[in-house]
């Protein structure tokens, strides 16, 4: 019996993936651990290797198809086993000679013909796009291998069909614009002057261009969308805000960032200090380093901190493991490496799993406040924002200080407001006193 290749579990919150690319074709010989297919999720692209040696028998899904975890996507005839052959086709002349009294088999669903007259080749997800756009398959130019219609082919055909795609209403010539008929003159009385005729006037012809572009929702964006909706549905979100004075940390970083880069080859940002301070706060308020089920609360005794990274396909959250056991130098170097590989789509599956608490930095894009959405199954996320020099009161005097507003979103099922506020206060105390953080003083 042929070996079945199934979509593996790719993370605690990943339920499905999108077929990005097949590395093999039907009939190819494969060995153990040879990559078979690349599957894309909202977290990372994963290559699925072969667990057996044999010959590829069937590819059951195509590029662009969305497949749930556990779905059979390929079969491999193991060594010594011949690939399954297609059943012989029935003789049409014999079928015609059978008595008409016999019950006819149910008619097969009609096959849409491509422009060449043959059956249209496309993945199920692409076929659904064709239906969604209401397109005639014969009007779509196929550019995929073996005459296969791709998602891009469907999008081009839909754009060409759209009445607003590149079509501008004609502007009438001035001679075509009729002047309004002057109103009839009112009979003048003895004290009235004759009415003057209205000047010829034609309002300008204005045609607003209302262009639209329709982009099918799929791949990483679809997975991220589903994850965000799920998180809001599961967790009653509450966000609390608190200002933090970064002035001392700004001075410390400015004094050491150049020598740090020369020594370690990584930029010294504020993120390692914030992460280390947050870990110290999590130790004191363990409810924020937890997850929940319908029946129990799971308090995590380890500290795996996720860091949201922006990329072209959307946010991805690599996880720095055991942050409590690492120095600020270790964290700075490792976060720099994770960020670079995240933007290059070169993270490993293990590097996006197992997070217990997350930091998301909207400040790098200029945001001064935000209400981040919790990454399930975690129960809290800390929003980091832009550091801005502001006037504040210190010892009765107005002085300029480098200030940031933190936004902590938390799951109100587990975390009470006062607990969230106390955690944020403790984290800020460490950041405002870098020496205490470096020496781990309370």
Q: What letter does residue 309 receive in the DSSP assignment?
A: B
Tokens of 357: 């608490």
* Catalytic one of 146, 412, 418, 425: 412
Q: Is 233 exposed, middle or buried (0-12, 13-18, 19+ CB in 10 A)?
A: exposed
What is the rounded CA–CA span in Å between residue 89 and residue 193? 98
Tell me whether strands 29-30 and 3-6 are parallel, antiparallel or unpaired.
Answer: unpaired
Is the separation of the CB atoms in 122 and 133 below 8 Å? Answer: no
Is the separation of the CB atoms in 310 and 398 below 8 Å? Answer: no
Which of 21, 112, 100 has its CA nearest to residue 64? 21
| Alpha carbon distances (Å) from 329 to 269, 277, 359 | 11, 14, 18
* Catalytic one of 132, 243, 416, 425: 416
What is the rounded CA–CA span in Å between residue 426 and residue 442? 9
Tokens of 5: 């290749």
Q: What angle do CA 216, 222, 224 make, to 5 degrees?
A: 150
Confirm whether 416 is a catalytic residue: yes
Which of 211, 216, 186, 210 has its CA nearest to residue 198? 186
Q: Coil, helix or strand for 382?
A: strand
**Contacts of residue 373, Cβ cutoff 8 Å, sequence gap at least 6:** 228, 231, 232, 237, 381, 409
Write the DSSP assignment of 393-418 as a string of letters. Answer: EETTEEEEEEEEEEEEEEETTT--HH
Active site residues: 412, 416
């Amino acid at each position: 019996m042929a070996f079945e290749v199934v979509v593996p579990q790719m993370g605690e919150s990943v339920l499905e993936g999108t077929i990005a690319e097949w590395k093999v074709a039907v009939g190819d010989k494969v060995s153990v651990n040879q990559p078979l297919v690349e599957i894309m999720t909202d977290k990372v692209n994963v290559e699925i290797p072969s667990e057996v040696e044999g010959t590829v028998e069937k590819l059951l899904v195509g590029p662009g198809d969305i497949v749930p975890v556990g779905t059979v996507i390929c079969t491999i005839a193991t060594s010594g086993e011949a690939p399954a052959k297609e059943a012989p086709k029935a003789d049409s002349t014999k079928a015609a000679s059978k008595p008409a009294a016999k019950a006819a088999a149910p008619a097969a669903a009609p096959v849409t013909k491509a422009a060449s007259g043959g059956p249209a080749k496309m993945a199920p997800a692409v076929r659904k796009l064709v239906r969604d756009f209401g397109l005639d398959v014969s009007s779509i130019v196929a550019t995929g291998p073996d005459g296969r219609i791709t998602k891009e082919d469907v999008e081009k055909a839909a754009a060409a069909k759209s009445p607003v795609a590149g079509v501008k209403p004609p502007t009438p010539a001035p001679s075509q614009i009729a002047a309004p008929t002057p109103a009839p003159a009112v009979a003048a009385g003895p004290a009235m002057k004759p009415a003057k005729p209205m000047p010829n006037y034609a309002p300008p012809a204005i045609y607003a261009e209302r262009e639209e572009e329709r982009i099918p929702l799929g791949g990483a964006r679809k997975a991220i969308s589903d994850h965000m909706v799920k998180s809001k549905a599961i967790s009653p979100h509450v966000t609390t805000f608190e200002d933090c004075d970064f002035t001392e940390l700004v001075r410390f970083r400015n004094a050491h960032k150049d020598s740090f880069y020369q020594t370690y080859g990584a930029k010294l940002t504020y993120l390692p200090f914030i992460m280390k301070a947050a870990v110290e706060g999590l130790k004191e308020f363990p409810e924020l380093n937890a997850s929940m089920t319908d029946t129990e609360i799971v308090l995590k005794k380890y500290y795996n901190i996720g860091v949201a990274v922006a990329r072209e396909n959307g946010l991805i959250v690599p996880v720095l493991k055991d942050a409590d056991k690492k120095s600020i130098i270790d964290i700075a170097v490792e976060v720099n490496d994770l960020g670079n590989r995240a933007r290059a789509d070169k993270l490993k599956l293990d590097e996006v799993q197992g997070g217990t608490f997350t930091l998301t930095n909207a400040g790098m894009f200029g945001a001064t406040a935000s209400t981040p959405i919790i990454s399930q199954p975690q129960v809290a996320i800390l929003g980091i924002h832009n550091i801005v020099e502001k006037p504040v009161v210190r010892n009765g005097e107005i002085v300029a200080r480098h200030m940031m507003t933190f936004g902590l979103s938390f799951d109100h099922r587990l975390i009470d407001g006062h607990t969230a506020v106390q955690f944020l206060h403790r984290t800020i105390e460490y950041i405002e006193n870098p020496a205490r953080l470096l020496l781990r003083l309370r």
